[in-house]
Structure 1
Amino acid sequence: MMLLVDAGNTRIKWRIVAERVLLASGSLPGAQVAELEAQWRSYGLTRAVLSCVASAAIQACLAEMLARLGVAAHWLHPERLNYGIHNLYDTPGQLGADRYAALIAAARLKLGHSVVVSVGTATTVDMLSMNHEFLGGVIIPGPDLMRAALLNGTGQIENRMRARDASPFHDAARAAPDLQAWPRDTDTAVAMGIGLAQAGAVQAVCERMPCTPDQPLWLILTGGARGALRDWLTIHPHGGAQVQLVEIEDLVLEGLAWVALELASLECGALEQSEQEGSNQA
Protein backbone atom coordinates (compact mmCIF):
# COMPACT_ATOMS: atom_id res chain seq x y z
CA MET A 1 0.00 0.00 0.00
CA MET A 2 1.10 3.51 -0.83
CA LEU A 3 0.95 6.58 1.39
CA LEU A 4 0.57 10.00 -0.24
CA VAL A 5 1.31 13.07 1.89
CA ASP A 6 0.80 16.76 1.14
CA ALA A 7 2.49 18.66 3.97
CA GLY A 8 1.41 22.25 3.38
CA ASN A 9 1.97 25.54 5.12
CA THR A 10 -0.90 25.01 7.55
CA ARG A 11 -2.25 21.46 7.26
CA ILE A 12 -1.06 17.96 6.40
CA LYS A 13 -3.32 16.00 4.06
CA TRP A 14 -2.82 12.32 3.34
CA ARG A 15 -4.24 9.35 1.47
CA ILE A 16 -3.56 5.64 1.53
CA VAL A 17 -4.10 3.96 -1.83
CA ALA A 18 -3.65 0.57 -3.44
CA GLU A 19 -3.68 0.50 -7.25
CA ARG A 20 -5.40 3.92 -7.32
CA VAL A 21 -8.12 2.68 -4.95
CA LEU A 22 -8.56 5.01 -1.97
CA LEU A 23 -8.43 3.09 1.31
CA ALA A 24 -8.14 5.92 3.84
CA SER A 25 -7.56 9.66 4.02
CA GLY A 26 -7.23 12.42 6.56
CA SER A 27 -6.11 15.94 7.34
CA LEU A 28 -4.83 17.72 10.44
CA PRO A 29 -2.93 20.87 11.42
CA GLY A 30 0.83 20.67 10.98
CA ALA A 31 1.32 21.19 14.72
CA GLN A 32 -0.33 17.79 15.29
CA VAL A 33 2.02 15.89 12.97
CA ALA A 34 3.06 13.45 15.73
CA GLU A 35 -0.48 12.03 15.80
CA LEU A 36 -0.09 10.57 12.32
CA GLU A 37 2.13 7.66 13.36
CA ALA A 38 -0.66 5.97 15.30
CA GLN A 39 -3.11 6.56 12.45
CA TRP A 40 -0.81 5.00 9.85
CA ARG A 41 0.66 2.14 11.86
CA SER A 42 -2.12 -0.40 11.22
CA TYR A 43 -2.00 -0.20 7.43
CA GLY A 44 1.23 -2.08 6.80
CA LEU A 45 2.58 0.65 4.55
CA THR A 46 5.67 0.01 2.44
CA ARG A 47 6.05 3.17 0.33
CA ALA A 48 5.30 6.86 0.61
CA VAL A 49 5.41 9.76 -1.84
CA LEU A 50 5.51 13.16 -0.18
CA SER A 51 5.29 16.83 -1.08
CA CYS A 52 6.47 19.11 1.70
CA VAL A 53 6.50 22.90 1.92
CA ALA A 54 6.09 22.85 5.69
CA SER A 55 8.86 23.71 8.14
CA ALA A 56 12.09 21.74 8.37
CA ALA A 57 10.96 20.50 11.79
CA ILE A 58 7.76 19.00 10.37
CA GLN A 59 9.65 17.41 7.48
CA ALA A 60 12.15 15.88 9.92
CA CYS A 61 9.30 14.57 12.08
CA LEU A 62 7.66 12.93 9.06
CA ALA A 63 10.96 11.40 7.94
CA GLU A 64 11.67 9.94 11.38
CA MET A 65 8.12 8.65 11.67
CA LEU A 66 8.25 6.86 8.31
CA ALA A 67 11.63 5.36 9.18
CA ARG A 68 10.19 3.91 12.40
CA LEU A 69 7.29 2.46 10.43
CA GLY A 70 9.66 0.91 7.89
CA VAL A 71 8.23 2.96 5.02
CA ALA A 72 10.48 3.88 2.08
CA ALA A 73 9.91 7.59 1.43
CA HIS A 74 10.20 9.43 -1.88
CA TRP A 75 10.24 13.21 -1.43
CA LEU A 76 9.09 15.02 -4.56
CA HIS A 77 11.62 17.56 -5.84
CA PRO A 78 10.94 19.66 -8.95
CA GLU A 79 13.16 18.92 -11.94
CA ARG A 80 13.67 20.48 -15.36
CA LEU A 81 11.95 17.69 -17.27
CA ASN A 82 10.14 14.84 -15.55
CA TYR A 83 6.66 13.40 -15.01
CA GLY A 84 5.53 14.97 -18.27
CA ILE A 85 6.26 18.56 -17.15
CA HIS A 86 8.81 20.88 -18.78
CA ASN A 87 9.69 23.20 -15.90
CA LEU A 88 10.80 26.58 -17.26
CA TYR A 89 11.76 28.04 -13.89
CA ASP A 90 15.23 29.60 -14.10
CA THR A 91 16.24 27.31 -11.23
CA PRO A 92 13.84 24.34 -11.43
CA GLY A 93 14.40 23.27 -7.83
CA GLN A 94 13.05 26.59 -6.52
CA LEU A 95 9.52 25.64 -7.55
CA GLY A 96 7.50 24.45 -4.57
CA ALA A 97 6.91 20.71 -4.46
CA ASP A 98 3.18 21.30 -3.97
CA ARG A 99 2.92 23.47 -7.07
CA TYR A 100 4.93 20.87 -9.00
CA ALA A 101 2.60 18.06 -7.93
CA ALA A 102 -0.46 20.12 -8.87
CA LEU A 103 1.01 20.79 -12.32
CA ILE A 104 1.69 17.06 -12.79
CA ALA A 105 -1.95 16.32 -12.04
CA ALA A 106 -3.15 19.14 -14.31
CA ALA A 107 -1.04 17.85 -17.19
CA ARG A 108 -2.57 14.38 -16.83
CA LEU A 109 -6.01 15.90 -17.42
CA LYS A 110 -4.86 16.74 -20.98
CA LEU A 111 -7.18 19.73 -21.22
CA GLY A 112 -5.05 22.24 -23.11
CA HIS A 113 -3.81 25.66 -22.03
CA SER A 114 -4.48 25.78 -18.28
CA VAL A 115 -4.16 28.13 -15.35
CA VAL A 116 -3.85 26.23 -12.07
CA VAL A 117 -5.12 28.23 -9.10
CA SER A 118 -4.51 26.88 -5.61
CA VAL A 119 -6.16 28.83 -2.81
CA GLY A 120 -4.94 28.15 0.71
CA THR A 121 -2.59 29.87 3.12
CA ALA A 122 -1.05 31.31 -0.04
CA THR A 123 -2.72 31.63 -3.42
CA THR A 124 -0.66 30.41 -6.37
CA VAL A 125 -1.61 31.02 -9.99
CA ASP A 126 0.43 28.91 -12.41
CA MET A 127 0.47 28.76 -16.21
CA LEU A 128 0.63 25.38 -17.97
CA SER A 129 0.72 25.33 -21.77
CA MET A 130 -1.07 22.74 -23.88
CA ASN A 131 2.39 21.19 -24.43
CA HIS A 132 2.78 20.80 -20.65
CA GLU A 133 5.32 23.57 -20.28
CA PHE A 134 5.21 25.32 -16.93
CA LEU A 135 5.51 28.92 -18.08
CA GLY A 136 5.66 30.49 -14.63
CA GLY A 137 3.23 31.81 -12.07
CA VAL A 138 2.59 34.16 -9.18
CA ILE A 139 2.26 33.77 -5.42
CA ILE A 140 0.18 36.08 -3.24
CA PRO A 141 -1.15 35.78 0.31
CA GLY A 142 -4.29 33.66 0.54
CA PRO A 143 -7.66 35.21 1.51
CA ASP A 144 -7.34 34.56 5.23
CA LEU A 145 -3.72 35.73 5.29
CA MET A 146 -4.72 38.97 3.59
CA ARG A 147 -7.45 39.50 6.15
CA ALA A 148 -5.10 38.69 9.04
CA ALA A 149 -2.59 41.23 7.72
CA LEU A 150 -5.27 43.91 7.82
CA LEU A 151 -6.35 42.97 11.33
CA ASN A 152 -2.81 42.83 12.68
CA GLY A 153 -1.37 45.77 10.78
CA THR A 154 -4.05 48.39 11.31
CA GLY A 155 -5.70 50.01 14.28
CA GLN A 156 -9.14 51.31 13.32
CA ILE A 157 -9.97 48.48 10.89
CA GLU A 158 -9.00 45.90 13.50
CA ASN A 159 -11.12 47.57 16.17
CA ARG A 160 -14.16 48.02 13.97
CA MET A 161 -14.14 44.50 12.58
CA ARG A 162 -13.49 42.72 15.87
CA ALA A 163 -16.01 44.87 17.69
CA ARG A 164 -18.66 43.68 15.25
CA ASP A 165 -17.52 40.05 15.39
CA ALA A 166 -16.75 40.13 11.68
CA SER A 167 -17.10 36.93 9.69
CA PRO A 168 -14.11 35.24 8.06
CA PHE A 169 -13.47 36.34 4.49
CA HIS A 170 -15.01 33.31 2.85
CA ASP A 171 -18.34 33.84 4.63
CA ALA A 172 -18.57 37.56 3.91
CA ALA A 173 -17.25 37.26 0.37
CA ARG A 174 -19.58 34.46 -0.67
CA ALA A 175 -22.71 36.19 0.63
CA ALA A 176 -23.44 37.53 -2.89
CA PRO A 177 -20.60 39.51 -4.46
CA ASP A 178 -21.93 42.50 -6.36
CA LEU A 179 -18.99 44.09 -8.10
CA GLN A 180 -21.14 47.04 -9.19
CA ALA A 181 -22.11 47.99 -5.63
CA TRP A 182 -20.12 50.32 -3.43
CA PRO A 183 -19.02 48.78 -0.12
CA ARG A 184 -20.52 50.89 2.67
CA ASP A 185 -19.34 49.07 5.78
CA THR A 186 -15.94 47.89 6.94
CA ASP A 187 -16.62 44.16 6.67
CA THR A 188 -17.82 44.46 3.09
CA ALA A 189 -14.98 46.81 2.16
CA VAL A 190 -12.40 44.32 3.41
CA ALA A 191 -14.15 41.31 1.88
CA MET A 192 -14.52 43.00 -1.50
CA GLY A 193 -10.95 44.26 -1.43
CA ILE A 194 -9.62 40.77 -0.77
CA GLY A 195 -11.91 39.21 -3.36
CA LEU A 196 -10.91 41.69 -6.04
CA ALA A 197 -7.21 41.28 -5.21
CA GLN A 198 -7.42 37.48 -5.46
CA ALA A 199 -9.49 37.53 -8.65
CA GLY A 200 -7.30 40.26 -10.12
CA ALA A 201 -4.20 38.10 -9.81
CA VAL A 202 -5.97 35.27 -11.63
CA GLN A 203 -7.23 37.63 -14.34
CA ALA A 204 -3.75 39.11 -14.90
CA VAL A 205 -2.20 35.66 -15.33
CA CYS A 206 -4.99 34.48 -17.65
CA GLU A 207 -4.38 37.49 -19.88
CA ARG A 208 -0.81 36.31 -20.43
CA MET A 209 -1.78 32.85 -21.68
CA PRO A 210 -1.28 32.33 -25.45
CA CYS A 211 -4.93 31.54 -26.23
CA THR A 212 -7.01 31.85 -29.40
CA PRO A 213 -10.80 31.88 -29.81
CA ASP A 214 -10.81 28.24 -30.94
CA GLN A 215 -8.77 27.06 -27.93
CA PRO A 216 -10.51 27.23 -24.55
CA LEU A 217 -8.56 28.27 -21.49
CA TRP A 218 -8.99 25.82 -18.64
CA LEU A 219 -9.10 27.31 -15.16
CA ILE A 220 -8.32 24.60 -12.62
CA LEU A 221 -9.32 25.63 -9.11
CA THR A 222 -8.05 23.72 -6.08
CA GLY A 223 -7.18 24.22 -2.43
CA GLY A 224 -9.10 24.36 0.82
CA ALA A 225 -10.10 28.02 0.43
CA ARG A 226 -11.07 27.85 -3.25
CA GLY A 227 -14.72 28.53 -2.41
CA ALA A 228 -13.72 32.01 -1.26
CA LEU A 229 -12.57 32.86 -4.76
CA ARG A 230 -14.96 31.04 -7.09
CA ASP A 231 -17.76 33.61 -7.19
CA TRP A 232 -15.39 36.52 -7.68
CA LEU A 233 -13.94 35.23 -10.94
CA THR A 234 -14.96 37.01 -14.14
CA ILE A 235 -12.12 35.98 -16.43
CA HIS A 236 -11.60 37.52 -19.86
CA PRO A 237 -8.54 35.85 -21.45
CA HIS A 238 -6.39 37.42 -24.11
CA GLY A 239 -7.45 36.36 -27.61
CA GLY A 240 -11.14 35.93 -26.85
CA ALA A 241 -10.85 32.33 -25.68
CA GLN A 242 -13.68 30.73 -23.74
CA VAL A 243 -12.97 29.83 -20.11
CA GLN A 244 -13.79 26.38 -18.76
CA LEU A 245 -13.74 26.00 -14.98
CA VAL A 246 -12.73 22.75 -13.30
CA GLU A 247 -12.63 22.25 -9.53
CA ILE A 248 -10.51 19.51 -7.98
CA GLU A 249 -10.37 19.37 -4.21
CA ASP A 250 -6.86 17.97 -3.67
CA LEU A 251 -4.87 18.44 -6.87
CA VAL A 252 -1.55 17.99 -5.05
CA LEU A 253 -2.52 14.53 -3.81
CA GLU A 254 -3.74 13.64 -7.31
CA GLY A 255 -0.32 14.61 -8.64
CA LEU A 256 1.44 12.53 -6.00
CA ALA A 257 -0.68 9.55 -7.02
CA TRP A 258 0.58 9.88 -10.60
CA VAL A 259 4.16 10.14 -9.35
CA ALA A 260 3.65 6.96 -7.32
CA LEU A 261 2.33 5.11 -10.38
CA GLU A 262 5.28 6.23 -12.49
CA LEU A 263 7.79 5.20 -9.84
CA ALA A 264 6.13 1.79 -9.59
CA SER A 265 6.24 1.42 -13.37
CA LEU A 266 9.94 2.29 -13.48
CA GLU A 267 10.64 -0.20 -10.71
CA CYS A 268 8.76 -2.96 -12.54
CA GLY A 269 10.67 -2.17 -15.72
CA ALA A 270 14.01 -2.35 -13.91
CA LEU A 271 13.02 -5.66 -12.30
CA GLU A 272 12.00 -7.16 -15.64
CA GLN A 273 15.28 -6.03 -17.21
CA SER A 274 17.25 -7.57 -14.34
CA GLU A 275 15.38 -10.85 -14.70
CA GLN A 276 15.97 -10.84 -18.46
CA GLU A 277 19.69 -10.24 -17.99
CA GLY A 278 19.82 -13.06 -15.47
CA SER A 279 18.04 -15.38 -17.89
CA ASN A 280 20.46 -14.49 -20.70
CA GLN A 281 23.46 -15.19 -18.49
CA ALA A 282 22.02 -18.58 -17.55
Structure 2
Amino acid sequence: MSGWVFDLGNTRLKAAPVDDDGRLGPVLAITHRGTDLGAEIERRLPASIGTATVASVAGEPLRVALLDALTRRARRISLATTTSRWDGLRVAYADPSQLGVDRFLAMLGACAAGSGAVLVCGVGTAITIDLVDADGRHRGGRIAPSPDLMREALHDRVPQLAPVGGTYHAFADDTDDALASGCQGAAIGLVEQSLASAARLLGETPRLVLHGGGAAALAPRLPAGDLHPDLVLEGLARWIRPASAVVPAPGAA
Protein backbone atom coordinates (compact mmCIF):
# COMPACT_ATOMS: atom_id res chain seq x y z
CA MET A 1 0.00 0.00 0.00
CA SER A 2 1.36 3.45 -0.95
CA GLY A 3 -0.49 5.53 1.64
CA TRP A 4 -3.77 6.22 3.38
CA VAL A 5 -6.86 8.31 2.63
CA PHE A 6 -9.02 9.95 5.32
CA ASP A 7 -12.62 11.19 5.18
CA LEU A 8 -13.37 13.34 8.26
CA GLY A 9 -17.09 14.09 8.41
CA ASN A 10 -19.34 15.62 11.02
CA THR A 11 -20.18 12.24 12.58
CA ARG A 12 -17.27 9.88 11.90
CA LEU A 13 -13.77 9.50 10.54
CA LYS A 14 -13.26 6.89 7.84
CA ALA A 15 -9.82 5.85 6.66
CA ALA A 16 -8.27 3.20 4.43
CA PRO A 17 -4.95 2.27 2.89
CA VAL A 18 -4.78 2.68 -0.88
CA ASP A 19 -2.44 0.95 -3.34
CA ASP A 20 -0.70 2.36 -6.40
CA ASP A 21 -3.65 1.38 -8.61
CA GLY A 22 -6.12 3.30 -6.46
CA ARG A 23 -7.66 0.25 -4.78
CA LEU A 24 -8.79 0.68 -1.19
CA GLY A 25 -7.82 -1.71 1.58
CA PRO A 26 -9.95 -2.43 4.67
CA VAL A 27 -11.85 0.66 5.83
CA LEU A 28 -11.50 1.88 9.41
CA ALA A 29 -14.44 3.84 10.86
CA ILE A 30 -14.34 5.89 14.07
CA THR A 31 -17.44 7.65 15.37
CA HIS A 32 -16.04 10.77 17.01
CA ARG A 33 -19.13 12.09 18.75
CA GLY A 34 -18.54 11.69 22.48
CA THR A 35 -15.05 10.24 21.99
CA ASP A 36 -11.49 11.57 22.02
CA LEU A 37 -10.67 11.40 18.31
CA GLY A 38 -6.93 11.82 18.86
CA ALA A 39 -6.83 8.98 21.38
CA GLU A 40 -8.85 6.69 19.08
CA ILE A 41 -6.48 7.40 16.18
CA GLU A 42 -3.48 6.66 18.40
CA ARG A 43 -5.07 3.37 19.39
CA ARG A 44 -6.31 2.15 16.02
CA LEU A 45 -4.05 3.59 13.30
CA PRO A 46 -0.69 2.00 12.39
CA ALA A 47 2.41 3.78 13.70
CA SER A 48 3.60 4.51 10.15
CA ILE A 49 1.35 5.03 7.13
CA GLY A 50 3.58 6.59 4.47
CA THR A 51 1.53 9.36 2.88
CA ALA A 52 -1.84 10.70 4.06
CA THR A 53 -4.52 12.45 2.02
CA VAL A 54 -7.32 14.10 3.97
CA ALA A 55 -10.79 15.35 3.04
CA SER A 56 -12.49 17.19 5.90
CA VAL A 57 -15.81 18.95 6.37
CA ALA A 58 -15.60 18.75 10.17
CA GLY A 59 -14.91 21.60 12.56
CA GLU A 60 -11.46 22.94 13.30
CA PRO A 61 -10.86 21.05 16.60
CA LEU A 62 -11.49 17.68 14.94
CA ARG A 63 -9.39 18.57 11.92
CA VAL A 64 -6.51 19.67 14.17
CA ALA A 65 -6.74 16.44 16.18
CA LEU A 66 -6.53 14.36 13.00
CA LEU A 67 -3.66 16.33 11.47
CA ASP A 68 -1.74 16.27 14.74
CA ALA A 69 -1.98 12.48 14.86
CA LEU A 70 -0.97 12.18 11.21
CA THR A 71 2.14 14.36 11.56
CA ARG A 72 3.61 11.63 13.77
CA ARG A 73 2.87 8.90 11.23
CA ALA A 74 3.05 10.22 7.67
CA ARG A 75 5.93 11.40 5.53
CA ARG A 76 3.60 13.76 3.67
CA ILE A 77 0.08 15.05 4.30
CA SER A 78 -2.15 16.45 1.54
CA LEU A 79 -5.52 18.18 1.94
CA ALA A 80 -8.07 17.55 -0.81
CA THR A 81 -9.88 20.62 -2.14
CA THR A 82 -12.71 21.18 -4.59
CA THR A 83 -11.64 22.41 -8.02
CA SER A 84 -13.66 23.51 -11.03
CA ARG A 85 -12.52 20.50 -13.10
CA TRP A 86 -10.92 17.17 -12.36
CA ASP A 87 -10.65 14.02 -14.43
CA GLY A 88 -13.54 14.97 -16.72
CA LEU A 89 -15.84 16.25 -13.96
CA ARG A 90 -16.90 19.90 -14.34
CA VAL A 91 -18.34 21.51 -11.23
CA ALA A 92 -21.46 23.67 -11.56
CA TYR A 93 -20.58 26.14 -8.81
CA ALA A 94 -19.20 29.50 -10.00
CA ASP A 95 -17.02 29.43 -6.86
CA PRO A 96 -15.91 25.80 -6.47
CA SER A 97 -14.66 26.46 -2.93
CA GLN A 98 -18.32 26.72 -1.86
CA LEU A 99 -18.96 23.09 -2.84
CA GLY A 100 -18.12 20.72 0.01
CA VAL A 101 -15.11 18.58 -0.74
CA ASP A 102 -17.06 15.49 0.33
CA ARG A 103 -19.65 16.13 -2.39
CA PHE A 104 -16.91 16.79 -4.94
CA LEU A 105 -15.08 13.57 -4.12
CA ALA A 106 -18.30 11.55 -4.03
CA MET A 107 -19.03 12.68 -7.58
CA LEU A 108 -15.51 11.70 -8.66
CA GLY A 109 -15.98 8.29 -7.11
CA ALA A 110 -19.42 7.79 -8.66
CA CYS A 111 -18.21 8.77 -12.13
CA ALA A 112 -15.33 6.32 -11.81
CA ALA A 113 -17.72 3.53 -10.79
CA GLY A 114 -19.78 3.61 -14.00
CA SER A 115 -20.71 5.45 -17.16
CA GLY A 116 -23.66 7.68 -18.02
CA ALA A 117 -25.55 10.22 -15.97
CA VAL A 118 -25.55 9.70 -12.21
CA LEU A 119 -27.45 11.06 -9.21
CA VAL A 120 -25.14 10.95 -6.19
CA CYS A 121 -26.92 10.83 -2.83
CA GLY A 122 -25.01 11.02 0.44
CA VAL A 123 -26.80 10.29 3.72
CA GLY A 124 -24.86 11.43 6.76
CA THR A 125 -25.54 14.33 9.09
CA ALA A 126 -27.20 15.89 6.05
CA ILE A 127 -28.56 14.48 2.81
CA THR A 128 -26.67 15.77 -0.21
CA ILE A 129 -27.83 15.17 -3.77
CA ASP A 130 -25.78 16.00 -6.87
CA LEU A 131 -26.54 15.36 -10.52
CA VAL A 132 -23.79 14.70 -13.07
CA ASP A 133 -24.73 14.21 -16.72
CA ALA A 134 -23.20 11.70 -19.13
CA ASP A 135 -20.60 14.27 -20.25
CA GLY A 136 -19.29 14.81 -16.72
CA ARG A 137 -21.05 18.13 -16.23
CA HIS A 138 -22.31 18.72 -12.71
CA ARG A 139 -25.84 20.10 -12.98
CA GLY A 140 -26.07 21.18 -9.32
CA GLY A 141 -27.48 19.66 -6.19
CA ARG A 142 -29.58 19.83 -3.03
CA ILE A 143 -28.93 19.67 0.71
CA ALA A 144 -31.41 18.71 3.43
CA PRO A 145 -31.34 17.29 6.99
CA SER A 146 -30.88 13.53 7.22
CA PRO A 147 -33.53 11.42 8.99
CA ASP A 148 -31.26 11.22 12.06
CA LEU A 149 -30.85 14.99 12.14
CA MET A 150 -34.59 15.50 11.71
CA ARG A 151 -35.22 13.25 14.70
CA GLU A 152 -32.63 15.08 16.81
CA ALA A 153 -34.04 18.48 15.87
CA LEU A 154 -37.57 17.42 16.78
CA HIS A 155 -36.35 16.02 20.11
CA ASP A 156 -34.49 19.25 20.89
CA ARG A 157 -37.68 21.28 20.30
CA VAL A 158 -40.14 18.71 21.72
CA PRO A 159 -38.29 16.54 24.30
CA GLN A 160 -41.08 13.96 24.60
CA LEU A 161 -40.45 12.93 20.97
CA ALA A 162 -37.74 10.26 21.09
CA PRO A 163 -34.60 11.00 19.02
CA VAL A 164 -34.22 7.34 17.99
CA GLY A 165 -36.36 4.22 17.61
CA GLY A 166 -39.38 3.16 15.65
CA THR A 167 -39.89 1.29 12.39
CA TYR A 168 -40.87 2.56 8.97
CA HIS A 169 -44.49 1.96 7.91
CA ALA A 170 -46.59 3.53 5.18
CA PHE A 171 -48.98 4.63 7.94
CA ALA A 172 -47.79 4.11 11.49
CA ASP A 173 -50.02 3.45 14.50
CA ASP A 174 -47.70 4.67 17.28
CA THR A 175 -45.54 7.77 17.75
CA ASP A 176 -42.08 6.22 17.47
CA ASP A 177 -43.00 4.46 14.24
CA ALA A 178 -44.64 7.64 12.96
CA LEU A 179 -41.44 9.60 13.62
CA ALA A 180 -39.28 7.00 11.87
CA SER A 181 -41.72 6.83 8.96
CA GLY A 182 -42.05 10.57 8.57
CA CYS A 183 -38.35 11.38 8.71
CA GLN A 184 -37.29 8.50 6.48
CA GLY A 185 -40.20 9.21 4.17
CA ALA A 186 -39.12 12.83 3.76
CA ALA A 187 -35.66 11.69 2.69
CA ILE A 188 -37.05 9.03 0.35
CA GLY A 189 -39.39 11.56 -1.24
CA LEU A 190 -36.53 14.00 -1.80
CA VAL A 191 -34.47 11.38 -3.62
CA GLU A 192 -37.42 10.17 -5.70
CA GLN A 193 -38.39 13.72 -6.66
CA SER A 194 -34.76 14.48 -7.55
CA LEU A 195 -34.63 11.43 -9.81
CA ALA A 196 -37.83 12.53 -11.54
CA SER A 197 -36.51 16.08 -12.02
CA ALA A 198 -33.23 14.73 -13.36
CA ALA A 199 -35.06 12.52 -15.86
CA ARG A 200 -37.02 15.53 -17.16
CA LEU A 201 -33.86 17.63 -17.41
CA LEU A 202 -31.67 15.04 -19.10
CA GLY A 203 -34.24 13.00 -21.03
CA GLU A 204 -33.10 9.88 -19.21
CA THR A 205 -33.18 8.58 -15.66
CA PRO A 206 -29.69 8.68 -14.16
CA ARG A 207 -28.33 5.76 -12.21
CA LEU A 208 -28.59 6.29 -8.47
CA VAL A 209 -25.48 5.98 -6.28
CA LEU A 210 -25.96 6.06 -2.50
CA HIS A 211 -23.29 6.54 0.13
CA GLY A 212 -22.84 7.56 3.74
CA GLY A 213 -23.68 6.03 7.08
CA GLY A 214 -27.45 6.36 6.65
CA ALA A 215 -27.68 5.17 3.05
CA ALA A 216 -28.24 1.49 3.80
CA ALA A 217 -31.40 2.25 5.79
CA LEU A 218 -32.97 4.12 2.86
CA ALA A 219 -31.77 1.91 0.00
CA PRO A 220 -34.49 -0.80 0.28
CA ARG A 221 -37.23 1.83 -0.14
CA LEU A 222 -35.66 3.59 -3.13
CA PRO A 223 -35.50 2.72 -6.84
CA ALA A 224 -32.69 0.29 -7.61
CA GLY A 225 -29.35 1.97 -7.00
CA ASP A 226 -25.74 1.20 -6.22
CA LEU A 227 -24.70 1.36 -2.57
CA HIS A 228 -21.13 2.63 -2.08
CA PRO A 229 -20.67 3.22 1.67
CA ASP A 230 -17.10 4.48 1.15
CA LEU A 231 -17.66 6.61 -1.95
CA VAL A 232 -15.77 9.66 -0.62
CA LEU A 233 -12.72 7.48 0.03
CA GLU A 234 -13.09 6.06 -3.49
CA GLY A 235 -13.10 9.61 -4.82
CA LEU A 236 -10.03 10.46 -2.73
CA ALA A 237 -8.21 7.47 -4.19
CA ARG A 238 -8.96 8.91 -7.64
CA TRP A 239 -8.00 12.46 -6.60
CA ILE A 240 -4.48 11.49 -5.49
CA ARG A 241 -3.54 10.16 -8.92
CA PRO A 242 -2.21 13.32 -10.63
CA ALA A 243 -1.93 11.67 -14.04
CA SER A 244 -5.73 11.60 -14.21
CA ALA A 245 -6.20 15.26 -13.35
CA VAL A 246 -7.61 17.63 -15.93
CA VAL A 247 -5.95 21.02 -15.52
CA PRO A 248 -8.21 23.81 -16.80
CA ALA A 249 -6.83 26.44 -19.08
CA PRO A 250 -6.49 29.96 -17.62
CA GLY A 251 -9.90 31.60 -17.52
CA ALA A 252 -11.75 28.37 -18.23
CA ALA A 253 -15.19 28.03 -16.65
TM (normalized to structure 1)?
0.77
Q: Offset at 1:191? A: 1.7
Q: Offset at 1:13? A: 0.4
Q: Deviations over 1:141-191 (max 9, x none)?
A: 11111111111112xxx42x55xxx8536xx12xxx43xxx3332122212
Show the counterpart of 1:255: 235
Q: Deviations over 1:74-131 (max 9, x none)?
A: 1111111123210011211111111111000111123211111111111111111111
Q: Which has the higher helix share?
A: 1
Structure 1: gaps of 5 or more residues = 235-243, 268-282
Number of aligned residues: 238
Q: Offset at 1:22? A: 4.3
Show the counterpart of 1:33: 37
Q: Distance in 2 between matches of 1:24 and 1:191?
A: 32
Q: Offset at 1:23? A: 4.4
Q: Deviations over 1:187-206 (max 9, x none)?
A: 22212211221012112322
2:9 paired with 1:8: yes
2:192 paired with 1:187: no
2:206 paired with 1:201: no
TM (normalized to structure 2)?
0.85
Residue 113 of structure 1: which of 114, 117, 122 is its match? 117
Q: Distance in 2 between matches of 1:82 and 1:110?
A: 16
Q: Distance in 1 between matches of 2:219 and 2:25?
A: 30
- In the alignment, residue 229 of structure 1 is paired with which amino acid? L
Q: Distance in 2 between matches of 1:150 and 1:41?
A: 40
Secondary structure in structure 1 of the residue aligned to 2:135? coil
Secondary structure in structure 2 of the residue aligned to 1:151? helix
Q: Distance in 1 between matches of 2:231 and 2:25?
A: 18
Query: What is the aligned-residue RMSD (CA, Å)?
Result: 2.2
Secondary structure in structure 1 of the residue aligned to 2:139? strand
Secondary structure in structure 2 of the residue aligned to 1:131? coil
Residue 72 of structure 1: which of 57, 63, 76 is its match? 76
Q: Deviations over 1:261-280 (max 9, x none)?
A: x23x489xxxxxxxxxxxxx
Matches within 5 A, 1:39-50: 39-42=44-47, 44-50=48-54
Residue 97 of structure 2: which of 84, 93, 99 is its match? 93
- Change in Cα spacing, 1:21 to 1:76, as seen in structure 2 (3 Å) is closer
- In the alignment, residue 168 of structure 1 is paired with which amino acid? G
Given that 1:125 and 1:201 are in contact with CA atoms closer than 8 Å, whether structure 2 keeps it comes out as no
Q: Deviations over 1:196-243 (max 9, x none)?
A: 21012112322221333xx44201111111122123325xxxxxxxxx
- Change in Cα spacing, 1:14 to 1:68, as seen in structure 2 (3 Å) is same
Q: Offset at 1:249? A: 1.5
Q: Distance in 2 between matches of 1:22 and 1:116?
A: 20
Q: Distance in 1 between matches of 2:23 and 2:225?
A: 26
Structure 2: gaps of 5 or more residues = 246-253
Task: Please tell me whether Structure 1 or Structure 2 has the larger radius of gyration of its CA atoms.
Answer: 1
- In the alignment, residue 94 of structure 1 is paired with which amino acid? Q
Matches within 5 A, 1:1-282: 1-19=2-20, 20-30=22-32, 31-34=35-38, 35-42=40-47, 44-154=48-158, 158-159=159-160, 161-162=161-162, 168=165, 172-173=167-168, 177-178=169-170, 182-209=171-198, 210-212=201-203, 215-233=204-222, 244-260=224-240, 262-263=241-242, 265=243
- Change in Cα spacing, 1:16 to 1:201, as seen in structure 2 (3 Å) is same
Given that 1:102 and 1:252 are in contact with CA atoms closer than 8 Å, whether structure 2 keeps it comes out as yes
